[in-house]
Amino acid sequence: MTQRVELATVIDRLAVDGLVTEYAVAVDDGDWEAYRGLFTPDGRADYRSAGGIEGDAAQVAEWLAENMRLFAMRQHLIVNRRLRFGLLEQDTGDTARVQADYINPMRFAGDAGDDGGSTAPDLVCGGRYAFGLVRTDDGWRLRHVVVHEKWRRTPQPRHEPATT
């Protein structure tokens, strides 16, 4: 591999990593216009394993906008990113696959944390994303996102010791 090819690969890796981060930020911040803009025109997302829907990016953004209102706080972290570049019309590097684990703590709207009380999450879930990306004239975009939720936990309230 030439130094020029290696540099291009590093630049692509950074761009793909940035796109995955933008995805997390758009979901956590509820920026559904930005979310839709991360996808190709035919881009799709599949949240069925987490109790959601599968559809084109606009449909899924609408569903997320409605359902994420339940949570005043969302902060999912995407880690252990495994990136593989692929072929598109015989051109290496114009597609990519990312497999990445996530953990997602969320707090329900209206909980004590909204007015300065506890900020502990009400729901924490984790799993693995499968991202499919393609290079476009506008840069890297998501062609598909599949959520594979592996676990979910609702923290139990702590009980105060009984006083006598």
Q: pLDDT averaged over consecutive 10-residue blocks of the chain (164 residues)? A: 79 96 98 98 98 98 96 94 82 87 92 55 93 96 98 74 61
pLDDT for position 3: 75
Residues 103 and 125: their CA atoms lie apart, in Å, by 6
**What is the pLDDT at residue 119?**
65
Give the pTM.
0.85
CATH number of 3-153: 3.10.450.50
Taking the domains of the chain in order of start, what are their residue ranges? Answer: 3-153
DSSP per position, the chain: --HHHHHHHHHHHHHHHHHHHHHHHHHHHT-HHHHHHTEEEEEEEE-GGGT--EEEHHHHHHHHHHHGGGEEEE--EEEEEEEEEEEETTEEEEEEEEEEEEEEEEEETTSGGGGTS----SEEEEEEEEEEEEEETTEEEEEEEEEEEEEEE-PPPPPPPP--
pLDDT at 158: 56
